[in-house]
Amino acid sequence: MKWSIIRVGIVAMFMGMATIVLGMTDDDREQRRAERHQRKLQQYKSGWNRLIPKYQNVQYAGSMGLLSLGVGWDYGRKKQWETEIMFGLIPRFSSNKAKVTFTLKQNYAPWEVSLGGKWWLEPLVTGLYMNTVLSDDFWVKEPEKYPNNYYKFSTRVRFHIFTGQRIAFDLGPHSPFRRITAFYELSTCDLYIISSATNKYVRTWDILSLSFGVKLHIL
């Protein structure tokens, strides 16, 4: 008896599904196809939208050039993670030509504090970045003209760590930018850390670099 009831239920279910499918008009099928296409298109656009930079930034000093310009992306549940790419300029000074640097930077800003009104403070920002000079005058691997292990480090690539703070102001809806942020950073690099660890005459303040910058938030 129970099996008969189950069998009747299964047959009724399949008949109902067949009725729904057969009852669909060409317009219904076309509408469903259009909806599926729209969903796929939206997912495609959403994926590409993630590549649009969220802000522009300008930074003075920081061992990445006298002045550096770049763009960045913030992400995470609280937008606490940031990735930046920057190009900097090293003026001629004593060399025969100016040089360009490239920097890949990862920031972490765990929280922000409201100062009232449209003002915000990010009391702790930290991170690391890799910087390279785009010039053949510098090298990653020691040239053959030098004795083996004469230079035990690369002159082209430096790895840095930093910490700093930011203060931000939310702009009005008619401004081309959502927010403007000013910041400072104290940084050092791998070579300076090694020098400090192996040379007792190198003080902590000798290996730190101070830099300043501004971020213009678009999104």
What does DSSP assign to residue 101?
A: E
Residues forming beta bridges with residue 160, ordered by sequence position: 129, 189
Predicted local distance difference test score (pLDDT) of residue 76: 92
17-26, 64-73, 74-83, 194-203: range with lowest mean pLDDT: 17-26
Flag whether pLDDT at 38 surpasses 60: yes
Predicted local distance difference test score (pLDDT) of residue 31: 75
With cut-offs at 50, 70 and 90, classify the pLDDT of residue 92: confident
Residue ranges per structural domain of the chain: 2-49, 55-217
Predicted local distance difference test score (pLDDT) of residue 50: 78
Predicted local distance difference test score (pLDDT) of residue 138: 65
What does DSSP assign to residue 50?
A: T
Is pTM beyond 0.85? Reply is no
Predicted local distance difference test score (pLDDT) of residue 5: 53
Average pLDDT value for the chain: 83
Both tokens of residue 85? 């790419």
At 128-165, the pLDDT tens digits run: 999 999 877 765 666 565 666 656 667 778 999 999 99
Mean of the pLDDT values across residues 4-30? 56
Q: Which CATH architecture is the domain 55-217 placed in?
A: Beta Barrel (2.40)
Flag whether pLDDT at 34 surpasses 80: no
Kind plus residue range of the DSSP H or E element containing 216: strand 209-217
Nearest to 208 by CA among 187, 191, 194: 187
Length of the chain: 219
64-73, 143-152, 182-191: range with lowest mean pLDDT: 143-152
| Inter-CA distances, 95 with 131, 137, 191, 218, Å | 19, 10, 22, 37
